[in-house]
Amino acid sequence: QVQLVESGGGLVQAGGSLRLSCAASVNIFRFQVMAWYHQAPGKRRELVAHITNGGFTNYVDSIKGRFAISRDNAKNTVYLHMNNLKAEDTGVYYCNSAPSSAAWGPGTQVIVSS
């Protein structure tokens, strides 16, 4: 069974930066598309960024120009580089394939203080 473990979250002031990491227990090359999902407090989890094995990326409008997703298949790791963080970025971040096919990891919490 695939295991995903997210890390790198924390408490940061608005305008700050974080780098999230997602370590997989298997070779992520098997997943054509990997993604980051965001669950804001009291809301449903939503996909916010994805990347293909070929490096094509796509983002929801709210994070375009501020976040960047990357993947290192050799390390079985997916990253989310978060810049110019805003209060609305607060929440728990998860990684998974897109569409999601693995068990969800614990996520990593991001709190942005304004």
Cα separations in angstroms, 85 against 12, 16, 30, 55, 62:
8, 5, 31, 24, 11
Looking at residue 35, its pLDDT comes to 98
Residues in the chain, pLDDT under 70? none
Looking at residue 12, its pLDDT comes to 98
Looking at residue 72, its pLDDT comes to 96
Give the model confidence (pLDDT) of 7-34 as tens digits.
999 999 999 999 999 999 999 999 999 9
| Token pair for 101 | 């096919």
Question: Long-range pairs for 63-66 at CB < 8 Å and ≥24 separation?
Answer: 63/89
